[in-house]
Structure 1
Amino acid sequence: MDNTSSERIRRRLIFFPLPLQGHISPMLHLANILHSKGFSITILHLKLNPPNPANHPHFTFRLIVDDDFSKESFNADLVSFLALLNDKCVEPLKQALLAEGDAVACLISDAIFHFTTGVCESLRLPRIVLRTGGVCSFLAFAAFPLLLEKSYLPLRDDRLEEAVIELPPLRIKDLPVINTPHQDMLYELVQEMVHQTKASSGLIWNSFQELEETSIAKLHQDFQIPIFPIGPFHKHNVNSNSNSNSNAPSSQNHSSISWLDKQVPKSVIYVSFGSIATIEEPEFLEVAWGLASSKHPFLWVIRPGLVRGAEWLEMLPGGFLDGLNGRGHIVKWAPQLEVLAHPSVGVFWTHCGWNSTLESICEGMPMICTPCFTDQRVNARYVSHVWKVGEQIEKELNRERIERAVRRLMEEREGEEVRERALFYKEVANVCVRPGGSSYDSLSKLVKYLSFS
Structure 2
Amino acid sequence: MEDFVTKKTTTPHVVIFPLPIQGPVNCMLKLAHLILSLSRATVSVTFLTTTSIHNRLVRHSNAAARLVHSYPNFRFETVSDGLVEHDDGDAQGALKLVESTIALERQAQEEGSKLRAVLGHGSAEPELMTPVTCVLADGFYGCMVDVAKELRVPLVYIETISPCGLWTYLCVPNMVRARDLPFQDDEEGLDASITSVPGMETYLRRRDLPSFCHAYDPNNPVIQLVLKEAQEFPKAQGHILNTFDELEGDYFAHIRALCPNLYNIGPLHLNLKSRIQQETTKSISNSLWQEDRSCLAWLDAQPPKSVLFVSIGSLASMTKDQLMEIWHGLINSKSRFLWVRRPGSIINKDEDTSQDDLEMIPDDLVEGTKKRGCIVSWAPQEEVLAHGAIGGFLTHCGWNSTLESIVEGVPMICWPFYVDQQVNSRVVSEVWKIGLDMNKDNCTRVVVEELIKELMETRRDEFSKRADKMAKLAAQAVAEDGSSYNSLNHLIDDIVSMRFSI
2:327 aligned with 1:288, yes or no? yes
> Residue type of the partner of 2:464?
R
Q: Is the 8 A contact 2:81 2:100 kept in 1?
A: no
> By how many angstroms is 1:216 displaced?
1.1
Going from structure 1 to structure 2, the CA distance change for 1:123 and 1:279 (only over 3 Å counts) comes to same
Note the aligned Cα RMSD (angstroms).
Answer: 2.4
Structure 2 partner of 1:161? 191
> By how many angstroms is 1:154 displaced?
3.0
5+ long unaligned stretches in structure 1:
none
> By how many angstroms is 1:34 displaced?
0.9
1:347-366 aligned within 5 A: 347-366=392-411
Going from structure 1 to structure 2, the CA distance change for 1:392 and 1:328 (only over 3 Å counts) comes to same
SS of the equivalent of 1:160 reads helix
Structure 2 partner of 1:54? 65
Q: Is the 8 A contact 2:407 2:475 kept in 1?
A: yes
| RCO comparison, higher one (Cα < 8 Å, 6+) | 2
> Residue type of the partner of 2:116?
K
> Residue type of the partner of 1:274?
G
Q: Which of 168, 176, 181 lines up with 1:148 in the alignment? A: 176
Q: Which of 214, 219, 241 lines up with 1:205 in the alignment? A: 241
> By how many angstroms is 1:37 displaced?
1.4
1:34-49 aligned within 5 A: 34-38=35-39, 39-49=43-53
Q: Which moved more, 1:303-312 or 1:363-372?
A: 303-312
Q: Is the 8 A contact 1:26 1:132 kept in 2?
A: yes
> By how many angstroms is 1:96 displaced?
1.6
Q: Is the 8 A contact 1:270 1:349 kept in 2?
A: yes
Looking at structure 2, the residues matched to 76 and 369 of structure 1 have their Cα atoms a distance apart, in angstroms, of 22
Q: Is the 8 A contact 1:206 1:233 kept in 2?
A: yes
> By how many angstroms is 1:253 displaced?
2.5
Q: Which of 223, 234, 256 lines up with 1:187 in the alignment? A: 223
Structure 1 partner of 2:276? 238
Structure 1 partner of 2:446? 400
Q: Which of 294, 298, 302 lines up with 1:259 in the alignment? A: 298
> By how many angstroms is 1:88 displaced?
3.2
Q: Is the 8 A contact 2:155 2:237 kept in 1?
A: yes
Q: Which of 228, 244, 248 lines up with 2:263 in the alignment? A: 228
Q: Is the 8 A contact 1:302 1:312 kept in 2?
A: no
2:478 aligned with 1:433, yes or no? yes
1:297-316 aligned within 5 A: 297-310=336-349, 311-313=351-353
Looking at structure 2, the residues matched to 218 and 415 of structure 1 have their Cα atoms a distance apart, in angstroms, of 34
Structure 1 partner of 2:414? 369
What's the CA shift string for 1:84-112, capped at 9, x where partnerless?
33223433321223443444320101111
The TM-score with structure 2 as length reference comes to: 0.83
Structure 2 partner of 1:120? 148
Q: Which moved more, 1:82-91 or 1:351-360?
A: 82-91
Looking at structure 1, the residues matched to 296 and 67 of structure 2 have their Cα atoms a distance apart, in angstroms, of 24
What's the CA shift string for 1:39-82, capped at 9, x where partnerless?
22110111232243324323301112443564588565654443
Q: Is the 8 A contact 1:55 1:244 kept in 2?
A: no
SS of the equivalent of 1:163 reads coil
Q: Is the 8 A contact 2:429 2:437 kept in 1?
A: yes
Q: Which moved more, 1:16-25 or 1:170-179?
A: 170-179
Structure 1 partner of 2:126? none
Q: Is the 8 A contact 2:83 2:100 kept in 1?
A: no
1:93-108 aligned within 5 A: 93-100=115-122, 101-108=129-136
Looking at structure 2, the residues matched to 403 and 89 of structure 1 have their Cα atoms a distance apart, in angstroms, of 48
Structure 2 partner of 1:340? 385
> By how many angstroms is 1:323 displaced?
4.1
2:26 aligned with 1:28, yes or no? no
Looking at structure 1, the residues matched to 254 and 246 of structure 2 have their Cα atoms a distance apart, in angstroms, of 14
Looking at structure 2, the residues matched to 154 and 359 of structure 1 have their Cα atoms a distance apart, in angstroms, of 34
SS of the equivalent of 2:164 reads helix
Q: Is the 8 A contact 1:16 1:109 kept in 2?
A: yes
Looking at structure 1, the residues matched to 217 and 84 of structure 2 have their Cα atoms a distance apart, in angstroms, of 19
What's the CA shift string for 1:245-284, capped at 9, x where partnerless?
24131xx421110000111111111000000101111111
SS of the equivalent of 1:13 reads strand
SS of the equivalent of 2:16 reads strand
SS of the equivalent of 1:211 reads helix
Structure 1 partner of 2:457? 411
SS of the equivalent of 2:191 reads coil
> By how many angstroms is 1:149 displaced?
2.2
- Count matched residues: 445
SS of the equivalent of 2:211 reads coil
Q: Is the 8 A contact 1:9 1:102 kept in 2?
A: no
Q: Is the 8 A contact 2:331 2:368 kept in 1?
A: no
Looking at structure 1, the residues matched to 119 and 104 of structure 2 have their Cα atoms a distance apart, in angstroms, of 17
> By how many angstroms is 1:230 displaced?
0.6
Q: Is the 8 A contact 1:111 1:129 kept in 2?
A: yes
Q: Which moved more, 1:121-130 or 1:101-110?
A: 101-110
